[in-house]
């Protein structure tokens, strides 16, 4: 798979487990003399400002260590430890050296661990062997599932050889539900990306990404939601979410915050049970959960009485918006099947 196809595959299939908006955090590094490690997890690909300098040298939008000259100063390579925002299975990496033209690493490797205590006691496992990298490029690497063994990881360590700069670091994978975060009988947001839900497929996401719909917190602006282009037919546009767990539905929130002139006129919600492959192939039967209902601008809409309550459980939902428009967030609270 070439780099362009791999980039599309990562973005359509997985989420960035390390992104700062999900709680990802750079914990420590060997050296960040020229540019701070925190830049690694910023959104976008990084920028370049021609005439911007600091008292340490050229300002760079990324993580950049000083020249180590290999073993001359005791450092064989530089490294940075990142706590994932969501523990999960890692499927690939994007080590982006955007604008690092003469100061990119020669090669990289990545280690991972599952650690709930002091990171100093972590046991690191190599998940990506040392690979050559290209300057001013997205360096994409797919992890072999057979080697990964479906292990859930909490932290990664990016190693760069022998030194240099990386603009952005993305850890693509699948979030996993953590039952220890909840008490018995507590309603769980089954559609939350932090609990392991995933936006699988949608009719259109011209203006903003489908996974914004299930991000934590309320949207910060109109770009922080799911918005489709204008249709010239009755619609609907639609989006399918794989729930974090199969469960029942007790409370639904549809939030159109910031969408004032482009919110959908109406919406409906359907649900189904099946494997991901069956859902993607259209081989499941969708059951109505909320019939076609009016929406309003810039508002949280709460639904309780219309939600199925006969202890039925579902694994996937389909949100339909008529005819098009933007929704900031969807919250779907219920109990896992095992708790009923």
Q: Which pLDDT score, from 0 to 100, does residue 231 have?
A: 94
Token pair for 34: 């020229």
Regarding whether 233 and 111 lie in a shared domain, the answer is no
Examine the fold and report which residue of 159, 175, 191 is the final residue of a domain before the chain moves on.
Answer: 175
Regarding whether 232 and 122 lie in a shared domain, the answer is no
Which residues, including other chains, have CB under 8 Å from residue 2's CB and lie 6 or more apart?
Answer: none
Task: Kindly state the average pLDDT of the residues 279-308.
Answer: 92
pLDDT beyond 90 at 161: yes
The model's confidence at residue 12, banded by pLDDT at 50, 70 and 90, is confident
pLDDT beyond 60 at 104: yes
What 3-state class would DSSP assign to 73?
helix
CB 246 within 8 A of CB 336: yes
Regarding whether 154 and 36 lie in a shared domain, the answer is yes
Alpha helices in 17-160 (DSSP H): 145-148
Token pair for 135: 């300057």
The model's confidence at residue 1, banded by pLDDT at 50, 70 and 90, is confident
Regarding whether 144 and 283 lie in a shared domain, the answer is no
Task: Kindly state the average pLDDT of the residues 187-191.
Answer: 97
pLDDT beyond 80 at 135: yes
Per-residue pLDDT of 208-239, as tens digits, reads: 999 999 999 999 999 999 999 999 998 899 99
Regarding whether 93 and 56 lie in a shared domain, the answer is yes
Task: Kindly state the average pLDDT of the residues 275-291.
Answer: 93
Task: Kindly state the average pLDDT of the residues 9-36.
Answer: 94
The answer to whether the pTM exceeds 0.75 is: yes
Domains identified in the chain, total number: 2
pLDDT beyond 70 at 198: yes
Per-residue pLDDT of 32-57, as tens digits, reads: 999 999 999 999 999 999 999 999 99
Task: Kindly state the average pLDDT of the residues 301-313.
Answer: 83
The model's confidence at residue 11, banded by pLDDT at 50, 70 and 90, is confident
Per-residue pLDDT of 70-97, as tens digits, reads: 655 667 899 999 999 999 999 999 999 9
Regarding whether 218 and 165 lie in a shared domain, the answer is no
Token pair for 238: 């639609």
Q: Which pLDDT score, from 0 to 100, does residue 2 have?
A: 86
Task: Kindly state the average pLDDT of the residues 164-176.
Answer: 96
Regarding whether 168 and 37 lie in a shared domain, the answer is yes
Regarding whether 332 and 189 lie in a shared domain, the answer is yes
Examine the fold and report which residue of 145, 175, 205 is the final residue of a domain before the chain moves on.
Answer: 175
pLDDT beyond 50 at 146: no
The model's confidence at residue 179, banded by pLDDT at 50, 70 and 90, is confident
Task: Kindly state the average pLDDT of the residues 157-164.
Answer: 96
Regarding whether 237 and 115 lie in a shared domain, the answer is no
The CATH number given to whatever domain includes residue 140 is 2.60.120.260
Q: Which of the pair, 26 or 178, is modelled with greater confidence?
A: 26
Regarding whether 157 and 15 lie in a shared domain, the answer is yes
CB 232 within 8 A of CB 219: no
Range of the domain at 322: 182-339
Alpha helices in the chain (DSSP H): 3-13, 145-148, 276-281
Query: How far apart, in whole angstroms, are the C-alpha atoms of residue 34 and residue 191?
Result: 40
Mean pLDDT estimate for the chain: 93
The model's confidence at residue 149, banded by pLDDT at 50, 70 and 90, is low
Examine the fold and report which residue of 146, 175, 204 is the final residue of a domain before the chain moves on.
Answer: 175
Regarding whether 80 and 211 lie in a shared domain, the answer is no
Least confident of 71-80, 115-124, 167-176, 313-322: 71-80
CB 3 within 8 A of CB 67: no
The model's confidence at residue 181, banded by pLDDT at 50, 70 and 90, is confident
Q: Which pLDDT score, from 0 to 100, does residue 147 have?
A: 53
- Classify each residue of 251-264 as buried b or exposed e, where b means 16 or more C-beta atoms within 10 Å of its C-beta: ebebbbbbbeebbb
Query: Which DSSP string corresponds to 255-309?
Result: E-TT-SSS--SEEEEEEE---HHHHHHT-S--EEEEEEEE--TT-EEEESTTS--
Regarding whether 186 and 170 lie in a shared domain, the answer is no
């Amino acid at each position: 798979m070439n780099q362009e196809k791999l980039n599309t595959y990562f973005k359509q299939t997985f989420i960035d487990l390390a992104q700062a908006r999900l709680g990802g955090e750079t914990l420590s590094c060997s050296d960040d003399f020229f540019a701070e490690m925190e830049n690694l997890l910023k959104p976008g690909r990084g920028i370049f400002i021609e005439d911007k300098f600091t008292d340490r040298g050229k300002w760079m939008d990324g993580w950049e260590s000083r020249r180590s000259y290999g073993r001359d100063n005791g450092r064989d390579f530089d490294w940075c430890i990142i706590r994932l925002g969501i523990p999960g299975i890692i499927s690939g990496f994007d080590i982006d050296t955007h604008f690092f033209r003469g100061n990119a690493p020669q090669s990289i490797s990545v280690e991972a661990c599952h650690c709930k205590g002091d990171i100093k006691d972590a046991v690191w496992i190599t998940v990506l062997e040392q690979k050559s990298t290209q300057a001013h490029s997205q360096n994409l690497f797919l992890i072999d599932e057979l080697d990964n063994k479906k292990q859930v990881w909490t932290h990664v360590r990016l190693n760069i050889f022998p030194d240099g700069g990386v603009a952005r670091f993305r850890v693509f994978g699948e979030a996993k539900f953590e039952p220890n975060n909840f008490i018995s009988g507590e309603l769980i947001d089954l559609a939350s990306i932090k609990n392991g839900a995933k936006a699988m497929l949608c009719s259109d996401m011209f203006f903003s990404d489908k996974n914004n719909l299930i991000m934590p917190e309320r949207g910060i602006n109109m770009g922080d939601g799911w918005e489709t282009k204008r249709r010239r037919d009755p619609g609907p546009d639609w989006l399918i979410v794989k729930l974090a767990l199969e469960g029942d539905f007790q409370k639904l929130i549809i939030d159109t915050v910031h969408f004032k002139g482009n919110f959908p006129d109406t919406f409906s919600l359907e649900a189904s049970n099946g494997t991901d492959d069956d859902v993607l192939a259209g081989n499941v039967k969708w059951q109505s959960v909320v019939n076609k209902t009016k929406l309003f601008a810039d508002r949280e809409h709460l639904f309780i009485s219309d939600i199925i309550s006969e202890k039925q459980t579902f694994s996937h939902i389909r949100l339909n918006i008529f005819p098009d428009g933007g929704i900031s967030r969807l919250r779907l609270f219920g109990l896992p099947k095992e708790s009923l």
